[in-house]
Structures are given as structure tokens and as C-alpha cells.
Chain A
Amino acid sequence: MRLIPTCLSAATALLVAGTSFGVAAQSTSGPVKVGLMLPYTGTFAALGNAIENGFKLYVQEQGGKLGGREIEYVKLDDESQPPKATENVNKLIKRDNVDVLVGTVHSGVALAMAKAAKDNDTLLIIPNAGADAITGPMCAPNIVRSSFSNWQPGYAMGVVAGKKGVKKAMTITWNYAAGAESVKGFAEALEKSGGKVTKELNLPFPNVEFQALLTEIAAQKPDAVYAFFAGGGAVKFVKDYAAAGLNKTIPLYGPGFLTDGTLQAQGEAAQGMLTTLHYADNLDTPKNNAFRKAYAIAYKSNADVYAVQGYDAAQLLGAGLKAVNGDLKKRDQLTKAMHSVTIDSPRGKFKLSAAGNPVQDIFLREAKGENNEFVSIAVKALADPARGCKL
């Protein structure tokens, strides 16, 4: 029985050694270790690559250094698998001793990363995952997001629908957190203008057999439909909606993900559709034009919203490191700088809220050809309500 205490003390010794080593790694010289935990395989692989490309583009533009420190990357494929997330993020924090975590796309994985970042007090920059909770109940000074919260585009579309005089709307989405949060934002804004969501339709993820629910929509005849789907589901839903002839009588609205990166596959069915997002493909600003040109030269492909989010994640880190001259030990100053800096993003200028989510303009876009073109600003400087955050 003596064995157990011995093992325990040995383990503790190892832990202590590990921790002190961790502190030693966070010095003021040598490279800053950035852990890129992104999907490099599976459905979201293209998104992970775009985020990494955007991040590295900004670092290259700064001469490979942020705040006077070289940047060293440790890459890890999260496979968009929540069950493996905790183990993966601990590998980066404990084994690789990264100074900063950057990731990821899938909200379920990002929630596990946020928890680990909170427990270990590691700096975390989220370049996509929109789960409201990350900058809500789970918010922390060391966790920031360069993308959006699911609530934001939904709320903006609710405002647009309200202005168009929609009184009776139906929503449809997969039965999962991102869809529910997006629909909630839409309903909240619509109610403010006197409208109402009469029925929320949902189906299990990733089921794509929509015909029964389309018949339900046709029978109820609402003024508008708000849909949240992404990837293959978004393509099929938009096509089925048009094939049922519903798009002629009941306008279909949604967040940008309904038509982003899917317009080629959706073809005629998506043309003219209105969506809301914090980026549009043809924003004609000097910053966006320069960014898209640099990205096209560096990677021989067109930048998208994910590349922008990666680019801005690097901008946020750069601003923090610059404020402390690369001294990672001055953590409080570093995070304060990240929260107070104005980021000159390709999407337009934005700042972080106290909870760490961008306060940003949400654009109304129209699908034309293979682009989601800018129509107008749906809501200016929209801040996520950060419900449940005590910062």
C-alpha cells in the first residue's frame, strides 16, 4: 500500500517540474510558440487551411515577428472531433508548452479548448467557432474571439426582416447548439419590431431529408423563413426550397453560412438570396482589396471569411505582444491591449467587447453569381449581449 503515496508524490514532482518548465518557456526571448489547433482533415479541412493561411499571411507581413519575437508554429489536427478535444488541447498546453492557442472551427471542440485554456490560464484566440457560451458564461480575460457569436448574424437578419414588414416567420435548423443560438438571435430582433416566430422547425443533425418540413412551411404560409444550415445541408436545403417553388412566395433568409462557399453548388436556386454576415466577398475598401490581393499571390486561391478571421486572430495577438514588447509574463497588460486595440480588419475596423467578442458591423449581402455581394450595413457595431458573462 506504500506504493500509492510514492506514485502520487512522483506524479506531483513530475507535474511541478512540468509547470516550472512551462514558466521557463514563457520568457522574453526566443520564439513565441503558437499552437494551431485546427481541422486539417474532414468536412472542415478547407476552413482550417484558410484560417492558417490568413494567420501566417499577417505574420509574414510583419516580417515574421510579432512584438519583436519570432513566431514558431505547432500544428495539431483536431479532426472536428469533440471527444478528442480535451486530450488534444492538453497535448499542446502540457507537452508542447505553447504560449498561445489558436483554434478552432467546430464549436464543440472550441468549448473544450476554452475550458482547458481557463483551467491552465493559457491565452486562447478563437478564429471561427461561434458558440455563444464562449464569450458568455465561459468568458475569461485570456479568451478572445476574432470571428462572431452565433447570435450576431441571426439578430441582424431579424432586424432586416422586421424592416421588411415580416410579422409571421418560421425558422428551420438542425437540432444543435449553433442552430438554436442563431434562431434565438433572429427571433429576439424580430419581436422587437412587432413580428413573431410562429413555429420553430428542426431536424436531427446531419439529416438532410427536408421535404416533410417544406410541406409544413407551404401549409402554414408564413411571411418569411429563417434557416440555419451549413455545407452540404445548406446546399440541399436551398435547392429543395427552390424546387418546391416556395422561394417565389415566401422569402428565405439566413446567416451567411447558408450561402458561403456553396454558391457554385446551389446554382440558380440561391441567386438573389439575402443573408447576413460580418464579411462580404466584394467589400470595396483599400484594406480588403490589399488583403485579397496579398492572399491570392501567397496562396493562389481566393480569400474567404475564414481567411479574414485567421488574419485578424494574428492581428489581435500582434497587438497584445506589441504592448508588452514580447514579454509574455506581463499577461494582464497583454490581454488589456487586445481588448482595447482597434483592429483594422479586411471586414472593416472593429474592437473586442469586454467579454472578448468582436463588436462589428453585420452586412446584408445578396447572392450574385458565385459571390455574396455587399448590399448595406444591416446593423452597425453590433455587440453580442454576452449573457452570463461577469467581466
Chain B
Amino acid sequence: MDLATFLVQCLNAVQYGLLLFLVASGLTLIFGIMGVINLAHGSFYMLGAYLAFALAPLFGDWFVTRLAVGVLLAFAFGYLLEWVFFSFLYERDHLQQVLMTYALILVFEESRSLLVGNDVHGVAAPSWLAGGFELGGLMQYPWYRVFSSVACIVVALALYAVVNRTRLGMMIRAGASNRDMVRGLGVDIRLLYRIVFAGGVALAALAGMIAAPLSSVYPGMGGSVLIICFVVVVIGGIGSITGALVASLLVGFVDTFGKVFFAEWSGVGVYLLMAVVLVWRPEGLMKRGI
């Protein structure tokens, strides 16, 4: 492998890792702060992708507006879902959480089948992001992939700022370490959780919307994303945003170079990485708490 190819592969790894981070950050927020194992997280990713498909004809090239509307809809949906279902789960044990969120997966998949059908659909990238640029005389690199990476970095920075620099972020961090104490200080913890949950759903949906033009939308697309996201969350340390970012990039590199060098075993690489990290640091790379 020459240097140009190597650099392109590094770019591929970073780009894949950043997209993974966007989905996994929502999962680690919900899992780490609220203690809910949310198997339906992949469905929120699918929801985002189908939202992108449904909203595309309405907004045309107003791509950023489309993303904003989709995020708002997903946030509202998450808010409602927490109120109706998840708010009853905090005191229950993990088995019941797994059962209910698994049931939600089935409900979402069936609703998708009824509403949109089982066909594969393409979502066009906006015309101002069409095309690509030459890369090392090897291949074209689509502008849209660059955009998706930049968008992921922006979201990562925004997330960091909100959690570490705002009053809301402070309450979230406090709620994660001691729920009862925060309530004792007069913070409406139920509302706080509702916002965190809705935010997690919105993040997953945003990832789905950004990924839609790259991956197209199809039945069962949430399932594979869910598994790799749990791997990221476990490697990074449950509840840690920084950990999720580091783990996503690690997974991106292992997956990309595993495919190139060990084609037959590429499916194993990521899980081997998880096993090694768990033996070395059972808590994940970063400790709990953001």
C-alpha cells in the first residue's frame, strides 16, 4: 500500500468513525445518564433516515432547513415517547427495559412496513453538495462525505459545550451522579430526563438523516447500527461522550484496515477490539461521567 492509498484509507476511517459517533453519542447519553438500556436506538436512526426520505420532496435544496425540521420532529417524538413509555422504566430492572425497548423495535419496523412499504429508497444529496474532488489521482471523494464529517464534528463540539459549559449540562451531569440529591435541590428531574431522552433520539435521527443519501433507506437498517453502537459505548465507557468519540474513531480505523488487510476476518476485528479493551479496562476507555 503506497502513501496516497494509506492516507485515503485513513480519511475513510475517520469519516466512518465520526458518523458512528453521532449515533452512539445519543445511546451513551441515554444509557449512561438515565440508566436505560435502549435497544430501540437503532430504530431512531432508521426514523431519521425515513424522515429524510419523506421530507426531501418538501424542501428540495433547503438541506439544512430539512435537517433542522427533522431534528425538531424527532425531538418532539422522543419527548412524547419518554412521557408515554420510558418514564415508567427508571425504577424497573434491566430485563424489563430490554423487553419493552425490543417490543418498540418490532412496533417501529411494522409501522414502517405499513406506512412506507418494504422497498429500498434512495435519497438524493442536495445539488450544492453533489459531485466530488480528485483524491491522490486514485478516485473521487464525494463532497457529501466531507460535509457529513464536518457536520459530525460540529455536533460533537456543540454537545461538549452544552454538557460542560451550560447550566443545563451541569444539571445533567449532576443528575447522572446523584438523582435524588438533584431533586432535593429543587430541579425537576423528570423534565430533565425527558429532555435528555428527546435529545438522544434527535441525535440518532440526525445521524440517520445525514447518512440517508450515503446509505439509502431500507427495512432493518437500524439493526446493524444498533450493534456497532453498543460496541462503541462499551469500548468508550458507558455515559462518556469523550469516550464515545475516541471509541468511534478506533472502531472506524479497525474496521477500515481490517477489511483491507484481513478480508476473511474483518467481521471479527471490531469485537476483538472490544474484548481486549474490556480485559484491559473493564469500565471502558473513559470512566463514567462526562
Tell me how far the C-beta of A258 lies from the nearest C-beta in chain B, rounded to whole angstroms: 12
Residues of B contacting A61 in the complex (Cβ-Cβ under 8 angstroms) = none
Tell me how far the C-beta of A216 lies from the nearest C-beta in chain B, rounded to whole angstroms: 6
Interface pair B255/A42, CB less than 8 Å apart: no
Among A41, A46, A206, A216, point to the contact of B119 (Cβ < 8 A). Answer: A46
Q: Which bucket holds chain B's interface residue count?
A: 35 or more
Among A212, A234, A240, A244, point to the contact of B9 (Cβ < 8 A). Answer: A212
Question: Complex Cα distance A201/B2, Å?
Answer: 19
Question: Complex Cα distance A267/B224, Å?
Answer: 25
Find residues 177-235 in chain A having any chain B CB closer than 8 Å to their own CB: 200-204, 206-209, 211-216, 218-219, 231-232, 234-235
Interface pair A235/B119, CB less than 8 Å apart: no
A231-B218, A232-B216, A236-B214 known; 16 new pairs, CB 8 Å cut-off, are A46-B117, A203-B263, A204-B266, A207-B267, A209-B259, A211-B12, A211-B16, A211-B145, A212-B13, A212-B256, A216-B259, A236-B216, A243-B140, A243-B142, A265-B119, A267-B124
Residues A261 and B119 in contact in the complex (CB < 8 Å), given A218-B139, A244-B140: yes
Interface residues of A (CB under 8 A from B): 41-43, 45-46, 175, 200-204, 206-209, 211-216, 218-219, 231-232, 234-236, 239-240, 243-246, 261-262, 264-267
Interface pair B5/A265, CB less than 8 Å apart: no
Question: Complex Cα distance A256/B206, Å?
Answer: 34
Tell me how far the C-beta of B22 lies from the nearest C-beta in chain A, rounded to whole angstroms: 15
Residues of B contacting A201 in the complex (Cβ-Cβ under 8 angstroms) = 259, 263
B257 contacts chain A at the CB level, 8 A cutoff? yes
Interface pair B120/A235, CB less than 8 Å apart: yes
Tell me how far the C-beta of B11 lies from the nearest C-beta in chain A, rounded to whole angstroms: 9
Residues A207 and B224 in contact in the complex (CB < 8 Å), given A219-B138, A231-B120, A245-B139: yes
Secondary structure call for the B interface: helix
Tell me how far the C-beta of B238 lies from the nearest C-beta in chain A, rounded to whole angstroms: 24
Closest to A268 in B: B124
Interface pair A232/B218, CB less than 8 Å apart: yes
Interface pair B118/A211, CB less than 8 Å apart: no
Interface pair A43/B118, CB less than 8 Å apart: yes
Residues A42 and B224 in contact in the complex (CB < 8 Å), given A175-B267, A207-B267: no
Interface residues of B (CB under 8 A from A): 1-2, 5, 8-9, 12-13, 15-16, 113, 117-122, 124, 132, 138-142, 144-145, 214-216, 218-221, 224, 255-257, 259-260, 263-264, 266-267
Residues of A contacting B117 in the complex (Cβ-Cβ under 8 angstroms) = 46
Question: Complex Cα distance A42/B220, Å?
Answer: 8
Closest to B16 in A: A209
Interface pair B119/A203, CB less than 8 Å apart: no
Question: Complex Cα distance A262/B119, Å?
Answer: 8
Interface pair B259/A203, CB less than 8 Å apart: yes
Among B120, B257, B266, point to the contact of A265 (Cβ < 8 A). Answer: B120
Residues A212 and B216 in contact in the complex (CB < 8 Å), given A175-B264, A267-B122, A267-B124: no
Interface pair A208/B12, CB less than 8 Å apart: no
Nearest first, the 6 closest Cβ-Cβ pairs linking A and B are: A232-B218, A245-B140, A204-B267, A265-B122, A218-B139, A212-B256
Interface pair A214/B139, CB less than 8 Å apart: yes
Interface pair B216/A265, CB less than 8 Å apart: yes
Interface pair A245/B121, CB less than 8 Å apart: no
Residues of A contacting B132 in the complex (Cβ-Cβ under 8 angstroms) = 243-245
